[in-house]
Amino acid sequence: MASSNNVAMHTASVESLAEVFRCFICMEKLRDARLCPHCSKLCCFPCIRRWLTDQRQQCPHCRASLRLHDLVNCRWAEEVTIQLDSLQVNEISKQKREEKDKCDLHREKLSVYCSTCSKCICHQCALFNGTVHSGHTFLQLDDVFQANIATVNDQINQLKRRHVELICLIQDVERNVESVKTAKDDRIRETRNVVHVMVARLEEQLKSKLDLLNGQRLQFSRETELIEHMLQDIEHKIKTSGKAELISKQQDLLQAIQLIHRKPMTSFVTTPIPNDFISEIVPQYDSSTYVINNFTILQHNIDPVYSQPLHLNGLTWRLKVYPDGNGTVRGTYLSVFLELTTGLSEPSKYEYRVEMIHQISKDPTKNIIREFASDFEVGECWGYNRFFRLEQLASEGFLDTENDTLILRFQVRPPTYYQKCRDQQWYTNHLENENHHLQNEIKILRDKLDLVSNRRRNPDSPDNHLHPVSDGSKHTGDSTVPAINNNCGDDTRRKPQIAPLEIEHVNRSGRMNDADGEQDETSTESDSSCPIESESLSSDDDDENDVDIENASGENDIDENGYDPNIHQLQNQMQIH
C-alpha cells in the first residue's frame, strides 16, 4: 500500500509540473514558448500574437501592458516539455508493468519465485497457500530476475556485436561497390582515350588516301581540260575558216591532235586506293569461297552439301547448303547455314556474313549479302532458311547456267580482339596437351624399339631366356614382346626376324581422319631368315578419339650387322614426329 501511495504521489507531482508548462491561453502543450515579463506566465507564441493583435495589447493573465517585442523567448521550455512527456510515458508504462507484476489471487506484488513450479508468486501464496506450494523451493524474485536479465543482456550484447560486424561488412561492400564503379569509370575513360586516338589515326589514313585520290583526279582533270580546250579551238577554226584555209591548216590540226595522243592511255592507269581501314578494336573477317558445281543436279537431293572447312584459331567452320531448300521452304528458297564443327565447349557469339556472287556482271555491288551475329555451340548451325528464291537464281544472274555453278562466300569473325585472344589461348592449350600426348606416345615407342633392338643384337642375352606363354610371347615387366624361335628345324642358326610394329598415327586436329590409309612394308626374304611368331606392339594409352591405328604387314630382313629396315623406318618416323 505504501508503494502504491508513493507511485500515486509521484504521478500527481509529474502532472502538476506538466500543468505549469502549459499555455495559459489554449491550455495545451507549449509551442514556441514565450514568457510574460510581468507575471512570468508561459504561453504559445501563436496564441499570444493572435491575442495581442485581435484583442488588446495587454497580458491576458496580469492585464499589464504588453507588446510582441516585450515577450521573452524561452527556448528551454520545449526541452522541459519533452522531458515531462517522457516522464509521463514512463510512469504510465511503469504502472502497467506493476499491474502485470501483481498476483491474480491476492492482488499483491509478485516477490517470490517458486523454482519447483517455475512460477512467480506473491508472499501470501508462498506462506499461507500450503496446499499448492507446500514443500516447494522458493527464491527471491529480484535475484531470479537479475540472473535472467543478465543472460538476456549477454545475448543482446552479442547481437549488437553481430549487428556492428554486419554494418562493417555492409560498409565494406559499399566501398567495394564504389571501387568497382571507379574501376568501370577508369576503363571507360581509358577506352574513350584509346578510341579518340584510333579515330585520329583513321582520320590521318583518310587524309592520306584522299590526297592520293585528289592528286589522281587533278591529273585527269588537267588532261580533260586540255582536250576540251583543243576541241573548242578546232571546232571554232572549222566553223570560221574557209575551205582553202582549212585545207592549209589541216596538217597543223592533225599535229596538235597527235601531240595529245602521243601520251599513251596506260600512263593514266593508276592503282586503286583500297577502301579498307584497319580496325584496332574489331578483328577482320576470315573468309572462304564455296563453289557449288552441278547445282541443278544437286537440287534433286534433299541432303545438304558442305563446303571445305575454314580453320580459324582452332575453330572449324563450314557452310551447310540445301540446294533445294530446307523443310517447309523446300523447292522455293535456297537455304544456307553456317556450322561450327570444332570449338569451345561453352557458347560464344560470332559475327558472320554469307555472300552470293553475281556471276554475270562480276559487280560486287550486285552481290547478295546477309550478315548477323549469333551464339554458336559446337555442332550448331545458324543461317537463313529463306536465303534467296530458287526461281530467280538464273534470271538474276547468280547461277551460271553454262557451267551450272553457284558461288557462295562466307566470312566469320569474333566480335572483339579479346574473344579472338581467348580462342587462340584455348587452341594453344589444346595443342600443348596434344603435344604432351604425342611425346608420351613417342617415348613408349622408343622404349619398345630399344627393347626389340637389344634383343636382336644380343639373342643369347639372359633377358631373352624367359618363360614362354601360351600365345608364343614373352612377358617382360608391363610389356608383351614377341617370342623368338631360333631353332628352324636344322642345325644352322638362322637370323631372327621380327614382325613390323604397328605405327600409331595421330591426327593433329584431335579428331579421327575420314579416310584411313594403310601402309604396307615389304622386303625381300633372305635365305638365312626364319619366320617367328609375334604380337603387334601397341601403346598403353590408346585414345579412340584422336588415334588411328594402322596395321603394317610383310616380311622384313635383318642383315648381318643387325640392321633392320623396319626399325630404321620407324626411327625416321619418330624423328619426323
Helices 250-261, 141-240: axis angle to 10 degrees equals: 150
Domain annotation covers residue 160: no
**Identity of the amino acid at 328:** T
Residue of 135, 107, 111, 137 lying closest to 122 (CA atoms) = 111
Do 378 and 350 form a contact (C-beta atoms < 8 A)? no
Q: What is the Cα–Cα distance from 71 to 47, expressed in whole angstroms?
A: 12
pLDDT tens-digit series, residues 341-388: 999 989 999 999 999 999 988 888 899 999 999 999 999 999 999 999
Between vectors from CA 370 to CA 368 and to CA 374, what angle results, nearest 5°?
A: 165
Beta strand ranges found along 54-175 (DSSP E):
72-73, 112-114, 119-121, 138-140
Q: What is the pLDDT of residue 145?
A: 84
Task: Answer yes or no: is 423 within a domain.
Answer: no
Q: What residue numbers bound the domain in which 42 lies?
A: 14-101
pLDDT at 233: 86
Query: From CA 117, how far away is CA 28, in angstroms rounded?
Result: 50
349: left (phi over 0), alpha (psi -120 to 50) or beta: beta
Least confident range of 222-226, 274-278, 541-545: 541-545
At 51, which CATH number?
Answer: 3.30.40.10
The amino acid present at 83, given as its one-letter code, is: Q
Burial (CB count within 10 angstroms: exposed 0-12, middle 13-18, buried 19+), residue 231: exposed
Asked if 565 contacts 500 with a C-beta cutoff of 8 angstroms, the reply is: no
Q: What is the pLDDT of residues 438-486, one digit of tens each?
A: 999 999 999 999 999 888 888 766 555 544 434 444 444 343 334 333 3
Beta bridge partners of 384: 336
Does the pLDDT at position 547 exceed 70? no
Comparing 51-55, 83-87, 101-105, 224-228, the range with the smallest average pLDDT is 101-105
Q: What pLDDT does 396 receive? A: 92
Digit-coded pLDDT (tens) for 284-303: 999 999 999 999 999 988 89
3-state secondary structure of 532: coil
Q: How far is CA 490 from CA 421, 485, 496, 528, in A?
A: 69, 12, 14, 12
Q: Which of 105, 80, 99 is nearest to 19 (CA)?
A: 80
| Structural domain ending residue among the three candidates 48, 82, 101 | 101
CB within 8 A of 38, min separation 6: which ones? 59, 62, 64, 66
Structure confidence at residue 5 (pLDDT): 52
Residue 463, phi-psi category: left (phi > 0), alpha (psi -120 to 50), beta (remainder):
alpha
116 lies in a domain? no
Q: Considering the domain boundaries, does residue 266 fall inside one?
A: no
Looking at 400, 416, 432, the residue that finishes a domain is 416
- Specify the pLDDT at position 461: 62
Nine-digit cell string for 446: 622408343
Let me know how many helices (H) and strands (E) the chain has, helices first.
11, 20
d(CA 469, CA 226): 102
Beta bridge partners of 561: none
C-alpha 472/C-alpha 499 separation (Å) is 13
Residues 6+ apart with CB under 8 A from 520: 552, 553, 554
Distance CA 138, CA 125 (A): 11
Give how many domains the chain has, as a whole number. 2
The mean pLDDT value of the chain amounts to 77
Mean pLDDT value across residues 2-28? 68
Range 314-338 average pLDDT: 93
User: What is the model's pLDDT at position 27?
Assistant: 83
> Cα separation of 574 and 5, whole Å?
111
Percent of the chain residues past pLDDT 70, beyond the cut? 75
Does 556 reside within a domain? no
More confident residue, 546 or 36: 36
pLDDT in tens, 154-201: 999 999 999 999 999 999 999 999 999 999 999 999 989 989 998 999
DSSP string, 296-351: HHHTT--S-EEPPPEEETTEEEEEEEETT-SGGGTTTEEEEEEEEEE--SS-EEEE
Q: What is the pLDDT of residues 477-494, one digit of tens each?
A: 343 334 333 333 333 333
The predicted structure's pLDDT at residue 508: 35
* Residue 11, pLDDT score: 61
Q: Is residue 34 in some structural domain?
A: yes
Q: What is the pLDDT of residue 123?
A: 74
Give the type of residue at 46: P
In a domain, 442, yes or no: no
Whether residue 217 is predicted with pLDDT greater than 60 in this model: the reply is: yes
Top mean pLDDT of 96-105, 107-116, 435-444 is at: 435-444
- End of a domain among 101, 127, 151? 101
Contact 431, 298 (CB under 8 A): no
In a domain, 215, yes or no: no
Q: In sequence order, which ranges of 387-483 are alpha helices (DSSP H)?
A: 417-457
**Where residue 373 sits, what CATH number does that domain have?**
2.60.210.10
